[in-house]
Chains A and B, each alone.
Chain A
C-alpha cells in the first residue's frame, strides 16, 4: 500500500490527493448513511488521462477503488473500501458538446443532472431522467445506477437516454461503446454498462439523448379516501390509452411531511394523493387532458385540482420531490426501499406493507411511482432506541421479499449497492449469479472496481437485515 500511495503522489499534487482523516470524513458514506467506511485515500482527477493512470496503478497493485460523484446513492453504491481509494469525479464536470440537430449531448461524468437540462434549455432540450436528487447528483452516478425518477413511465430510465460511452475498464484499457445514434450495430454494450453499479470501471465521456422540452404541461392533483382508490384511478387512466409523463401517489403520512416541509398546498384531509402530469404539444395535451378529466371523474376523487401556472406546477413537484427529506421532520431516522411490484398488485402490496408496519410497531410513509409499480416505503424509526434500526431493517427486508413474491424486483432505481446484496440470491438463481460473476471477472479480473457492490461474494459478506452487518461484527465498518 505504501508504494501504491507513493505512486499516487506522482500523479496527484497534495491538494488533489486526500490522505488525512479530516479530508476523508466527507467520503465515508453516501446517501445510505447507515454505513460508513473510511477509504485509504481520495483522489480528484482533472482529466481522463489521470483516471486511466490511476486505474492502471490500482490494477497493478490490486487496490480496490470506488469512483463516485456526489455520493447520493441510496443503496450504499459509493460506500468506500477501507483498503481502497475513492476516485472523486466531481471536477470532471464539463458539458463538452450540445448538438441540437441530433438532440444529443456529450458530457463528462461529474456533470450535475440538472445542469445538463439547464444547458439544453436554450436549445429547447432537456435530459429526461429526473431523480429526486437531480440538483446535486451526477450523470456518472445516474449512469452507474441506471437512475430513475418520476417521469420513467413515459420516458424510461437513464439507460434509455445513454447512447455512447467512452470508458476506462478497471485495468485501464479505454473502450468505446455505442455511438451517437439511437440505433445500435451489434450487441448493446452500452445497455450492459449502464446500471453495472461501477463494477466495469469509469465512464470518461458520455453521449446522451436529449428530448425537446414539452410545449406545455398539465398537472393534476386528485385526493382520495384510500390508497386503493388512488391505485384504481391509475389503472383507469392507463387503460384509457393516455400515457402521462408521470403518475405519483403519496399517502397521508407523506403528505403531512411534505406539507410541513415546503407548504405545497396539498389537501390535508386526504388518505392518498395522486399527481398526474401530461406533457407534449399543446393541442395534443389539451385533447388528452379532456380524456384524463373524463377518466378521473369516474374515480370518486374527493377533490381534483389543476395547477394554474408553472409556479403551481413546480410547487406540486417540490412537495413530491422533498418527501424523502421531509419525512425527517416526522422521525429522527428512516429507511427507504424501492422495491417494484406488478402494477395490478399495488393495492395488495400497500395493504401488506401497512400490515407488516403495524406488526413491527413502526410507522411507514409511502411515496411511489404508481405508473410503474415502483414503491418507496419510508420506514420511520428512532436510531437512539436500542434495536430500532434492526427492527426497521427487518421490516424493509420483509417488504422486499413480498415484492419478489408478487413477481416484482428488489430495486427499481436505487440499485443493489451494499444494501440489498443479501436479496440477490432470492431474485436470481445460482446460474444467473454465476453468469454475472463471469462477466464481472472478464472485465475486472482482480475485482477491484467498486468491490462489494451488487454481487454477493466472499470479498463482501452479504448484509444481514436482521442484525449487524458482518463487516460491522468484524469491526471494519460502523453505522452513524
Chain B
C-alpha cells in the first residue's frame, strides 16, 4: 500500500482503519473532503474509504437506508429510485462522484431541502472512528430516536474533523406521483427577491425554490398530478406574473445544473453560505462588485458562491454581514469563514473526540498536519 502524495491509503476493514487512526498523528479521510473526479478536487488527502461502499441495510418499507461512507451518492439515489424513493434534501455533486461520507462531512444539501429540511434533518445514525481509534455507533436505524447525544447531526458539516465516518443511516421519503417545474422570469434580482419574500409569507409549500442573480425564480412543485394546474394558477395570481412551465426534459436539466452548480467555473474556491431569505439582498449587493458566481438555493437559506479572489476578502464581507460560511471545495487556510462564533463550543467537543488533534480543524487558519513518510503507517503494504 503506497503512500504517494496523490495516492491515498485505502484500508479494507474497520480494524485496518482503526489501526491507521491509532498509529498515526494526522489523518485526512478523502471520503470526508473530496469529491473524486471533481473539477474542484483538492490534493492533500490521505485515507480513502473506497472499500467501504456497501449498502448495509435497505428495506424499502422502512423508509430508511444504512450505507457505508465510501458509497457513491449517485449509486444510492439510483437504488432508491428503483423503489420510487429518494433523499429529499437533493444532495449536490452526486453526478461528480460525491460519496456519502463527503456529503455528510461537507453538509451537502440542495434545493429540495426547502420543503422538508436539509441533510441534518434526514440523518438518523452515524458510525465513525474517533481520534482514539475507537469505533463509535450513535443514533439509530429507526426514524425516531431520542436516546443519547445526537452525534449524527454533529457530523454534518464537520469536515471530517471529529472522526472518520464509516457508515450512516438516513430517513428517506416516497417520491410524489407528479412534479411540475416553473420559472418566473423577472427583469431584476430585486423583483425576484420581492417575489421570494411574498411566497415565504404565503401558505404555499413548494418542494424547491431557487434564485439566480438575473431575476429568475425557479420553483418545483410535487404532489398529485390532478392538483398541479390549480397550484400553478394560484402561484401566478399570488405573484402577479405568468410563469414559464418547463418540459420534463428541460426541468430535469435545469435542476440538475442547479444542484451540481454546472454553470460555475471549473477552478477556484466554492463556498456555501448560511443565509436567510431577507439577508440575501445585502449579500447580493456586497458581492456584486467582485463578479463572482452566486446561486441562491433552498429558498434563500443557502447561497453558493464561486470565489476566484483572496478568500480573506470574502471572509471580511461575510463578517460585515454577520454570516458564516463553509469552504466545500478548494484549498484555503481554514474551512469555516466569516463569523465563527460556534468555535469555543466546537473546540470542547473536538477535544473530547479527537484529543490528540489527529484530524484537521476546520476553524484553524493552519494547514492540516501532513503525514510525510509512509513508514509511519503500520498497515501491510501491497
Contact = CB atoms under 8 A, between A and B. Distances in A.
A102 B130 contact: no
B291 interface: no
B122 to A, nearest CB: 9
B203 A412 contact: no
A343 B63 contact: yes
A191 B154 contact: yes
Given A187-B156, A196-B149, A157 B174 contact: no
A413 B140 CA distance: 13
Most A CB within 10 A of own CB, among B142, B351, B362, B363: B142
Interface string A155-193: 111011000000101000101111111111111111110
A195 B140 CA distance: 14
Contact of A185 (B136, B140, B274): B274
A167 to B, nearest CB: 8
A54 interface: no
A468 B278 CA distance: 56
A431 to B, nearest CB: 4
Interface residues of B, number: 94
B146 interface: yes
B212 interface: no
A216 to B, nearest CB: 9
B130 A186 contact: no
B352 A344 contact: no
Nearest to B121: A160
A375 B137 CA distance: 23
B312 interface: no
A182 B349 contact: no
B338 interface: yes
B135 A431 contact: yes
Contacts of A123: 201
A152 B144 contact: yes
Contacts of A155: 116
Contact of A281 (B107, B159, B204): B204
Contact of B154 (A101, A148, A188, A287): A188
Interface of B: 59, 61-64, 84, 107, 109, 113, 116-118, 120-121, 130, 134-138, 140-159, 161-162, 173-177, 197, 200-205, 223-227, 230-231, 234, 272-279, 298, 301-302, 323-326, 335-336, 338-342, 344-346, 348-349, 351-353, 362-363
Given A241-B174, A431-B136, 7 more contacts: A169-B348, A185-B326, A186-B158, A191-B120, A196-B149, A215-B203, A238-B63
Interface of A: 99-104, 123-124, 145-146, 148, 152-157, 159-160, 167, 169, 173, 175-192, 194-196, 212-215, 235, 238-243, 280-281, 283-284, 286-288, 290-291, 340-344, 369, 372-374, 407-416, 420, 424, 427-429, 431-432, 434-436, 438-439, 441-443, 454
17 contacts: A156-B116, A181-B274, A181-B275, A183-B118, A186-B159, A186-B340, A192-B149, A343-B62, A344-B59, A373-B144, A412-B146, A416-B146, A427-B148, A435-B352, A435-B353, A442-B352, A454-B148
